[in-house]
Amino acid sequence: MKIDIHVHSKHSTRPSQWFLQKLGCPESFTEPARLYEIARQRGMGMVTISDHNTIAGALEIAHLPDTFISEEITSYFPEDGCKAHILALDITEAHHAEFQKLRENVYDLVPYLREQNITHVIAHPLFGVNDKLTPWHFERMLLMFSNFELNGTRDSYQNAILRSILNALTRESIEELADRHGLEPYGLTPWKKSVTGGSDDHSSLNIASMHTYVPGARSLATFLDGIGSGLSRPAGRAASPKTMAHNLYAIAYQFYKSKFGLERYVDKDVFLTFMDRFLSGGEPRKPGMVFRLQALWSGMKLRGRKPASDSLPDLMRHEAEKLIHTDPRLYSMAKKGVAESLPPEEEWFRFVTRASNTVLAGFGDRMLNQISGANVFDIFNCLGSAGALYTMLAPYFVAYTVFTKDRALCREAKASLSGGEQEKTVKVGHFTDTFHDVNGVALTLKMQVNMALKHGKELMVITCGGQDREQFHGVKQFEPIGSWELPEYPGQTFHYPPFLEMLEHAYEQGFTHLHSATPGPIGLAALGIARILKLPIYGTYHTAFPQYAKVLTGDDAMEELMWKYMIWYYNQMDKVFVPSKATGEELAAKGIAPEKITLFTRGVDIERFTPAKRNGALQRYGLEGGTTLLYVGRVSQEKNLHLLADAYLELADRHPDLNLVIVGDGPYTGDMKRKLEGRGAVFTGYIQGEELAGVYASSDLFVFPSTTDTFGNVVLEAQSSGLPVIVTPLGGPKENMEPGVTGLVVDEVNAESLVKAVDSLMGDEARLARMSRAARAAMEQRSFDRAFVQTWDLYKCAC
């Protein structure tokens, strides 16, 4: 015999979820007679309704065949008010009345249930109903109850841990718990527990998805005896956050359908029909001629039609209707209902994701265009739309938050019973807007992925887009839902991430920490996911975006706007990693909480970048002999390359054998080539790997005039290759060399200072050679291996 012993009707008084309170609707209002019919259709041998603290629903169907009365009693641990839900099966109205007198104290209620010989089950014992449940309460449940429920609204992770805990109980462990709590365990063999299953359905979508099976039971009496003697078996499927979210959408839809009489419009409106198929529960109706005509007419109207307005509801409805008409699978569901072979929560997730992605991409375009144009008032309007979109997707955010909290409690309970601490395994999800780009951030991330694999650490980089579709180990690449290119910074493209899919991925991976490498759209997604999954999030300040904004636009207001955003964003982080003391001091002065700022070590690949690779690589560019100045990096205005060009022109007049090699590309390349035309400067374009290592080692002096770099990976690579470096007194690079030992820091940021520094070294070959050796020796202490391990320890300290 199979029975779903945990299902609710319109009479349930369980408190609503947060977002349903916002919507102003109750959690459930499904008619008892309808629940009965659905349960029978799904093969249940008998039917009961276990509403919260009422038997009104069960009484409404008590006259129907094969029914019995049950109740889900909300009781409390008197020590702190922690709620416990107890299923009482096959009861009378007199029992119900007595429950209401005793339920305020679980220690009064449970003895009464035993005295009356009422089969009772502790429902979802690892789910904190009012956020007060702890391992202490769960351990007391193990002593007080014989029957435990695997719940159909919880995921397989929670149910599996509950099962493993119950299976691991022994006489000794129960005796130890009894001594610890001063509580007498119940039953002759209290270490042996029975397990039941119940759907805990509040929406009529998942009735009997989880139920209890007792082999050989032919009557209610033998079924209940089977539970008491340990013969019961949970059957069906566990839930997921997608299941819970689908239920929440259904509850809201069913409420508004009832409140506003939407029933009369179903089958006359394609969008509403589609919603009804997914969110009403029960058997779908066959569409009539009206539906087919309406579908044809609305499909024709959609061609070339714009949304009724720019409001979020109109945008969402417009995109949803387009999806339904253009996706054959979705249209079939609108017409016929969801096939039994397709999990409805998965199909609903696919639909909501695609519709919201389209709206989110449009929102991103408008937002970035307005920021680029400094349209302050339009920016605030856009933020209002973002809030509305958040509300619309709230069921998923609520569901993932609830399930994440459940998992944490499960781990705590298991650790408490085993007498040890929780496992401190660190698993990091590292989100970045730049992985395929040619810059120090992307290079560092790729090296970190390799180092994680080498050292057995669990690190996954999460990113979007990029023309390079090669799959990397330890990297999850999502297809972007849209992109936006920065007009003032050609080649710099922001990709919009598919937020719900990223959220699902982060939840399934079980990350312990999130890390944001960049503050762009993917960094914002990381922040949102961290908040939803209740995870610590660290951020790295790699790039001086405010200064870039000022240099590229010439607009002080843009620099100020960018600083406001940066301060807001990084103040949301639990820790802010900075690559240099100067950067940390600047951020603290701008308003980031100083206690969050942490200096982290970045290393260099000393095996790739080494003087041993001095192999005449410059000959392929027509350079033989003489002294070679080298610059590696983005060829852009903010790098002060106009100063390097001016300095080289003056130096070349004094030193005819002096060469200049520019490695990289960017928006300033054309102007710089024209400025140095005919003066022997070489532009290699973008090179990498062994070719780049050879160019480094075959050069003589590295010049880096940038003042906006927070770190400067290339400064480490040059020194590792045996090149003395010349840097400015501003930014992070000066902290990654030893002034006077591995290179020089110029006094002022101008061409004259660069000329003076180069001249001083070219005129002293012995000093140049000493600096070359010292540069390599210094970098041998900054290997990427050592830096990676030191950085990883920062995560371990926060576990």
Percent of the chain with pLDDT over 90: 54
For 346-369, the pLDDT digits (tens) are 989 998 998 888 878 776 666 666
Q: Does some domain include residue 113?
A: yes
Write down the pLDDT at residue 550.
63
**Which of 466-470, 770-774, 794-798 tops mean pLDDT?**
770-774
Could you say which of 567, 599, 631 is where a domain stops? 599
In a domain, 796, yes or no: no
Q: Is residue 200 part of a domain?
A: yes
In this predicted model, what pLDDT tens digit does every residue of 521-533 receive, in sequence order?
A: 899 999 999 999 9
Mean pLDDT in residue range 330-334: 75
| pLDDT value of residue 557 | 72
Alpha-carbon distance 719 to 733, whole Å?
A: 12
The span from the CA of 754 to the CA of 332, in Å, is 70
Question: Does 250 have pLDDT greater than 60?
Answer: yes
Could you tell me if 617 and 591 lie in one domain?
no
pLDDT for residue 692: 94
What does the pLDDT look like over 603-615, one tens digit per residue?
A: 889 999 999 999 8
> Among positive and negative, which fits the CA dihedral 184, 188, 194, 198?
negative
Same domain (yes/no): 443, 488:
yes
Same domain, 591 and 623: no
Q: Are residues 7 and 148 in the same domain?
A: yes
pLDDT at 708: 82
Q: Mean pLDDT of all residues in the chain? A: 85
Which residues have C-beta within 8 Å of that of residue 735, sequence separation ≥ 6? 580, 581, 582
What is the extent of the structural domain holding 266? 249-255+262-392
Q: Are residues 632 and 575 in the same domain?
A: no
How does residue 580 score in pLDDT terms, banded at 50, 70 and 90?
Answer: confident
The tally of domains found in the chain comes to 4
Residue 309 or 716, more confident: 716
202 and 281 share one domain = no
Q: Are residues 450 and 586 in the same domain?
A: yes
Residue 514 reports pLDDT greater than 80? yes
Residue 238, pLDDT above cutoff 60: yes
pLDDT band at 629 (very low <50, low <70, confident <90, very high): very high
pLDDT score at 529: 96
What pLDDT is recorded for position 388?
64
Q: What is the mean predicted confidence (pLDDT) over 247-274?
A: 79
317: in domain? yes
Confidence of residue 728 (pLDDT cuts 50, 70, 90): very high
Of residues 211 and 204, which shows the higher confidence score? 211
- For the cut 70, the answer to whether the pLDDT of residue 271 exceeds it is yes
Q: Residue 281: what pLDDT?
A: 64
Question: Is a pLDDT exceeding 60 seen at residue 449?
Answer: yes
The CATH number that applies at residue 75 is 3.20.20.140
**Tens digits of per-residue pLDDT, 654-673?**
898 999 999 999 999 999 99
The answer to whether residue 660 sits within a structural domain is: yes
Are 382 and 490 contained in the same domain? no
* Residue 402, in any domain of the structure: no
Q: pTM score, two decimals?
A: 0.81
Residues 580 and 661 in one domain: no
pLDDT in tens, 372-411: 555 544 544 554 555 567 778 889 999 999 899 888 899 8
Task: Choose among 595, 471, 577, 468: nearest CA to 516.
Answer: 577
Three-state secondary-structure class, residue 539: strand
pLDDT of residue 423: 57
The pLDDT of residue 252: 82
Specify the pLDDT at position 270. Answer: 75
Mean pLDDT of all residues in 756-770: 92
154 and 277 housed in the same domain: no
Query: Distance (Å, rounded) from C-alpha 128 to C-alpha 134?
Result: 8
**Residue from 527, 504, 539, 475 nearest 404 by CA:** 504
What's the average model confidence in pLDDT over 435-446?
71
pLDDT of residue 380: 44
Q: Are residues 595 and 660 in the same domain?
A: no
Does residue 669 fall inside a structural domain? yes
Q: Which regions of 435-487 does DSSP assign to beta strands (E)? A: 458-464, 475-478, 482-485
User: Is 593 among the domain residues?
Assistant: yes
More confident residue, 298 or 624: 624
Q: Do 447 and 544 have their domain in common?
A: yes
Boundary residue ending a domain (575, 599, 623): 599
**What share of residues in the chain are helix, strand, coil (percent, to 5)?**
50, 15, 35
pLDDT value for 387: 59
**Token pair recorded at residue 91:** 């009861």
Which of residues 564, 599, 634 is at a domain's end? 599
Q: From its phi and psi, is residue 109 left (phi > 0), alpha (psi between -120 and 50) or beta?
A: alpha
pLDDT score at 478: 93
The CATH code of the domain that includes 549 is 3.40.50.2000
